[in-house]
């Protein structure tokens, strides 16, 4: 080896040794200090609450919460406190110094049988506190009672998805079916008993062979004139009722959806009330019930499968608001067209999608509140040799991960509130619009929730995997939302088909488009500037123009492509199926333009001040992140490559502008501390050996208690 090579190796070794020495040496010590002194341990990390390190908010978080919640702030806080105060909601104290903090969350380590039983015990407690009073018996048109009910349901979902779903099936599916499909005789007999849980209802629509395609269900109902009864039968295995919430353990009654055959003619899908268990919980004759088994989430809900072996139900148990069968077997309906009758029959079920869209935004808020608070206290690496470690949220890359999601959560809150108000003010004429909006928002908001929770989970590192930190378990609990109450992909195609129908009808009749926010298509095509400066990118006019431009262009492209397929001999149905890529882009464009309009309206309603300024930043972030993430803006030329780069740069600029407001924004989400998780607060203290929730200590304690005959199943840890 020559001397130059040897010298080079020695130099590299010396440089590396020096780097290691600098890492080990206390910066306050002189370079000549002893080795023993130089490698003494650095002071331990200390937790500093973000409320101290971040300084006072620029706006009042309570005011933003009022806008985001939309209604019922006092009622929500009352129910949150009621859950925190009860041992049934599993309060757990975390932290080894002082008194620590108390968090409430279900015990997901329980078996599915235990989780189901705890769900019912919690429902019993909530009933005793008067939570469900008036949910089914309030006077018609009592909007205040309706809004209070929706606020309560949202709070229950924040605690536990299983609890909210179990209650939702009982009140809104079983109870809602009686309310909307039934008439006075059904209301008088069933609604009060349902509200008081004298009967426990479920909703037998979905079958093994048919989920989204309700019209194709195979369960059959025939009318026996001699006895005045309907005979309901499961003719084949694919007709078994499947995923029926409440059926496996607790439900005493169900609404059965079946094809009504009258004198050899299929009159389509109808609904019937049937008893499936007696007062002692025994399964009724001619009914078979099986458990759907353990699931990746929602194990507090007893989903079951049901077979009907020629079960008989009285004629009066047909829910007859749309159609009826007279004692002599005559079938009567005020709606003669079968398609219109089917549409009228299913219209009230849109509430399920409304509720999912609203509830899913709160799950995003939980994930973001935890991830942002953690990022405001967790440090990692230093950018100078002897400098302090940086907070996670001070890294531009971490801001890019979380800040756009804050904007989306806020924007989608306004859209969810818009949907709620539309539903509460519904009329027969508005049912079609409600179906379109609820389908679109349910799909986009649930998809976004899963993306948000995944990003929040990763942003919390290994801590995001712990069940007690909520984010990971919320992913499992809420994944189902993309497929129940309608598969998201199917719903989005329904949205596009509806928009196409409106467009084609207006073209044929040569009239302007009206409704669904499509009036902008009647106006001249907006002009997008060639060079997009920062001020243009942040202007609501540009944002509205480019969202409208995308929507109107995609609607025309979709109509043209469907027409071209039809010109080649394809049926209209086949043509729309073949055009599904454009259909997906169109439905997304419609939904994102709707969301933008709702946050813009909220912003415009505010007087000048810090809150309006911050909401303007959030609106701009929502708009620009949709442009950056949406391939259609580049694919169809609404943005040039250069302007797309400008959008990306502006997103980063907005991240740094919104960063100082991050704590105030998540504080405005209105999630009580107890419903967040340990890493949202003093995560060091929560993980000390003396913390009462040390898993090994808890396991040992559980075994000790159980050996003495004490069941910790009551969740009084």
Average pLDDT over the chain, rounded to whole? 90
Residues of each annotated binding site for FAD: 206, 245
Q: How far apart, in whole angstroms, are the C-alpha atoms of residue 70 and residue 133?
A: 22
Q: How far is CA 426 from the centre of its chain?
A: 22
How is 235-291 classified by DSSP, letter by letter?
-SGGGSEEEEETTTTT-SEEEEEEEEEETTEEEEEEEEEEE-B-TTSPBPTTEEEEE
Residues 460 and 558 grouped into a single domain: yes
Q: Which residues are designated catalytic?
A: 485
Q: DSSP secondary structure string, 324-356?
A: EE-TTS-EEES--SHHHHHHHHHGGGHHHHHHH
Helix (H) or strand (E) holding 307: strand 303-308
Show binding-site residues.
206, 245
The pLDDT tens digits for 136-157 are 999 888 888 999 999 999 999 9
Q: Residue 33: is its pLDDT beyond 80? A: no
**Three-state secondary-structure class, residue 652:** helix
Confidence at residue 225, expressed as pLDDT on a 0 to 100 scale? 93
Percent of the chain with pLDDT over 90: 80
Q: Are residues 236 and 363 in the same domain?
A: no
How do residues 523-574 score in pLDDT, each as one tens digit?
999 999 999 999 999 999 999 999 999 999 999 999 999 999 999 999 999 9
Model confidence at 708: pLDDT above 90? no
Task: Using the predicted structure, report yes or no on whether residue 22 has a pLDDT greater than 80.
Answer: no
pLDDT of residue 712: 42
Q: Does 314 lie in the same domain as 365? A: no
pLDDT of residue 10: 57
- Provide the pLDDT for residue 17: 56
For residue 685, is it within any domain?
A: no
Put residue 190 in one of left, alpha, beta given phi > 0 → left and psi -120 to 50 → alpha: alpha
Tell me whether residue 193 is in a domain.
Answer: yes
Give the strands of the sheet with 287-291, arranged side by side.
241-245, 303-308, 287-291
* pLDDT confidence of residue 38: 46
Domain assignment present for 43: no
For residue 492, the model assigns a pLDDT of 97
Name the token pair of 646: 């400008």
* Same domain? 296 vs 412: no
716 part of a folded domain: no
Q: Give the closest residue to 181 by CA, choosing from 434, 433, 351, 424.
A: 351
Using alpha carbons, list the distances in angstroms from residue 531 to 528, 550, 644, 655.
9, 18, 11, 22
- 367, 453 Cβ separation under 8 angstroms: yes
Give residues with Cβ within 8 angstroms of 84, minimum separation 6.
Answer: 91, 102, 104, 672, 674
Using the predicted structure, report yes or no on whether residue 183 has a pLDDT greater than 90: yes
CATH code at 253?
A: 2.40.110.10
Could you tell me the CA-to-CA distances from 37 to 32, 42, 44, 650 in Å, in that order? 10, 11, 17, 49
Q: Would the pLDDT of 448 be above 70? A: yes
- Judged by DSSP in three states, 47 sits in coil
The model's pTM is 0.90
- Phi first, then psi, for residue 318 (nearest 5°) are -70, 125
The per-residue pLDDT for range 451-461, each reduced to its tens digit, is 999 999 999 99
pLDDT digits over 271-315, tens only? 999 999 999 999 999 999 999 999 999 999 999 999 999 999 999
Do 311 and 390 belong together in one domain?
no
| pLDDT attached to residue 45 | 83
Whole-angstrom distance, CA of residue 480 vs CA of residue 447: 11
Percentage of residues in the chain having pLDDT higher than 70: 90
- Domain-embedded: residue 571: yes
Tell whether the model's pLDDT for residue 620 goes beyond 80. Answer: yes
pLDDT at 519: 96
The arithmetic mean of pLDDT across residues 167-193, rounded, is 95
**Residue 705, in any domain of the structure:** no
Can you give the pLDDT at residue 705? Answer: 39
Q: What is the pLDDT of residue 348?
A: 66
Same domain, 456 and 315: no
pLDDT at 173: 94
pLDDT at 11: 63
DSSP 555-569: HHHHHHHHHHHHHTT
In this structure, the answer to whether residues 238 and 365 fall within a common structural domain is: no
Give the residue, 98 or 597, on which the prediction is more confident. 597
User: What letters, b where the CB count within 10 A reaches 16 and e where it falls short, cover 93-106?
Assistant: ebbbeeebbebbbb
Domain residues for 618?
Answer: 350-667
Whole-number pLDDT of residue 709 = 47
Residue 574: what pLDDT? 95
Same domain, 506 and 580: yes
Exposure b/e, 686-708, CB count within 10 A at least 16 = b: bbeeebebbeeeeeeeeeeeeee
Does 663 lie in the same domain as 562? Answer: yes
Please state, as a whole number, how many other Cβ atoms lie within 10 Å of the Cβ of residue 120.
18
299 located within any domain:
yes
Strands (E), 171-234: 201-204, 220-224, 229-233
Residue 4 above 60 pLDDT?
no
User: DSSP readout, 116-176?
Assistant: HHHHHHHHHHHHHTTTTTTTTTSPTT-HHHHHHHHHHHHHHHHH-HHHHHHHHIIIIIIHH
What digits encode the pLDDT tens for the residues 84-139?
A: 999 999 999 888 666 678 999 999 999 999 999 999 999 999 999 999 999 999 98
Domain assignment present for residue 234? The answer is yes
Which helix (H) or strand (E) is 303 found in, with range?
strand 303-308
C-alpha distances (whole Å) from 256 to each of 173, 233, 308, 653 are 11, 10, 10, 55
Q: Tell whether 129 and 237 lie within a shared domain.
A: yes
Is there a single domain that holds both residue 231 and residue 355? Answer: no
Q: Per DSSP, what are the bridge partners of residue 379? A: 391
Residue 36 has pLDDT above 70, yes or no: no
Residue with tokens 């809004």: 147
CA angle, residues 572, 576, 578, in degrees to nearest 5 = 115
36-50, 334-348, 480-494, 622-636: lowest mean pLDDT where?
A: 36-50
Is it the case that residue 386 has pLDDT exceeding 90?
no
Could you read off the pLDDT of 574-586 as tens digits, one per residue?
999 999 999 999 9
- Asked if pLDDT for residue 337 goes beyond 60, the answer is yes
What is the mean predicted confidence (pLDDT) over 693-704?
44
CB neighbours of residue 47 within 10 Å: 13
Report the C-alpha gap between 255 and 317 in whole angstroms. Answer: 9
Number of folded domains that form the chain: 3
Beta bridge partners of 92: 103
What stretches of 579-609 show up as alpha helix (H) in DSSP?
A: 580-604
| pLDDT per residue as tens digits for the range 518-535 | 999 999 999 999 999 999
Residues 297, 225, single domain; the answer is yes
Contacts of 406 (CB under 8 A, 6+ apart): 368, 372, 618, 621, 658, 662, 665, 666
Q: Is the pLDDT of residue 470 over 80?
A: yes
Alpha-carbon torsion (197, 120, 272, 132), positive or negative:
positive
The band of 5, judged by pLDDT with boundaries at 50, 70 and 90, is low
- pLDDT-based confidence at 512, cuts 50/70/90? very high
CATH value at residue 365: 1.20.140.10
In the numeric block, the tokens 């309060």 are attached to 91
């Amino acid at each position: 080896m020559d001397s130059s090579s040897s010298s080079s190796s020695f130099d590299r070794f010396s440089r590396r040794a020096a780097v290691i020495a600098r890492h080990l040496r206390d910066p306050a010590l002189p370079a000549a200090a002893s080795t023993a002194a130089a490698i003494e341990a650095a002071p331990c990390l200390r937790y500093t609450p973000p409320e101290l390190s971040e300084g006072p908010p620029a706006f009042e978080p309570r005011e933003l919460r009022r806008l985001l919640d939309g209604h019922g702030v006092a009622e929500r806080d009352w129910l949150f406190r009621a859950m925190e105060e009860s041992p049934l909601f599993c309060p757990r104290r975390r932290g080894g110094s002082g008194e620590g903090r108390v968090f409430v969350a279900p015990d997901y380590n329980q078996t599915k049988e235990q989780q189901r039983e705890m769900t019912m015990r919690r429902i019993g407690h909530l009933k005793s506190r008067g939570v469900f009073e008036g949910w089914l018996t309030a006077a018609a048109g009592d909007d205040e009672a309706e809004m209070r009910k929706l606020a309560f349901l949202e709070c229950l979902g924040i605690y536990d998805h299983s609890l909210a779903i179990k209650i939702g099936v009982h009140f809104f599916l079983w109870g809602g079916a009686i309310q909307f499909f039934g008439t006075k005789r059904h209301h008088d007999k069933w609604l009060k008993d349902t509200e008081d849980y004298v009967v426990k209802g479920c909703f037998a629509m979905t079958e093994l062979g048919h989920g989204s395609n309700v019209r194709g269900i195979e369960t059959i109902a025939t009318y026996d004139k001699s006895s005045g009864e309907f005979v309901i039968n499961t003719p084949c295995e694919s007709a078994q009722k499947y995923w029926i919430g409440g059926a496996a353990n607790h439900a005493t009654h169900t609404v059965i959806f079946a094809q009504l055959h009258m004198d050899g003619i299929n009159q389509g899908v109808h609904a019937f009330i049937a008893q499936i268990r007696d007062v002692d919980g025994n399964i009724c004759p001619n009914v078979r019930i099986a458990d759907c088994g353990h699931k990746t989430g929602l194990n507090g809900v007893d989903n079951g499968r049901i077979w009907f072996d020629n079960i008989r139900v009285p004629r009066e148990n047909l829910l007859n608001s749309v159609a009826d069968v007279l004692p002599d077997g005559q079938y009567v309906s005020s709606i003669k067209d079968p398609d219109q009758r089917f549409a009228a029959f299913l219209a009230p079920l849109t509430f399920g999608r409304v509720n999912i869209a609203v509830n899913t935004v709160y799950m995003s808020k939980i994930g973001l509140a935890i991830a942002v608070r953690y990022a405001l206290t967790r440090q990692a690496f230093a950018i100078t040799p002897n400098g302090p470690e940086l907070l996670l949220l001070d890294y531009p890359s971490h801001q890019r991960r979380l800040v756009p999601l804050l904007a989306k959560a806020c924007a989608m809150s306004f859209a969810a509130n818009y949907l709620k108000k539309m539903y509460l003010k519904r009329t027969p004429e508005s049912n079609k619009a409600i179906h379109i909006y609820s389908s679109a928002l349910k799909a986009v908001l649930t998809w976004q929730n899963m993306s948000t929770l995944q990003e929040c989970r990763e942003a919390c590192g290994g801590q995001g995997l712990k069940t007690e930190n909520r984010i990971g378990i919320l992913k499992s609990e809420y994944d189902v939302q993309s497929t129940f109450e309608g598969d998201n992909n199917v719903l989005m195609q329904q949205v596009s088909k509806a928009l196409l129908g409106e467009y084609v009808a207006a073209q044929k009749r040569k009239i302007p488009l009206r409704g669904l926010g499509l009036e902008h298509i009647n106006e001249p095509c907006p002009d997008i500037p060639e060079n997009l400066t920062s001020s243009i990118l942040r202007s609501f006019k540009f944002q509205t123009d480019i969202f409208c431009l995308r929507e109107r262009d995609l609607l025309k492209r979709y109509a043209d492509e469907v027409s071209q397929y039809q010109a080649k001999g394809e049926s209209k149905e086949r043509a729309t199926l073949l055009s599904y890529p454009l259909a997906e882009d169109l439905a997304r464009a419609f939904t994102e333009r709707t969301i933008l309009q709702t946050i813009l309206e909220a912003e415009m309603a505010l007087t000048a001040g810090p809150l309006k300024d911050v909401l303007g930043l959030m609106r701009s972030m929502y708009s620009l992140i949709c442009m950056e993430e949406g391939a259609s803006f580049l694919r169809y030329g609404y943005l040039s490559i250069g302007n797309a780069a400008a959008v990306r740069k502006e997103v980063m600029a907005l991240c740094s502008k919104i960063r100082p407001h991050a704590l105030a924004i998540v504080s405005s989400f209105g999630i009580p501390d107890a419903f967040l998780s340990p890493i949202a607060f003093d995560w060091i203290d929560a993980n000390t050996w003396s913390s009462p929730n040390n898993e090994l200590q808890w396991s040992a304690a559980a075994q000790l208690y159980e050996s003495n005959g004490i069941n910790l199943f009551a969740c009084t840890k």
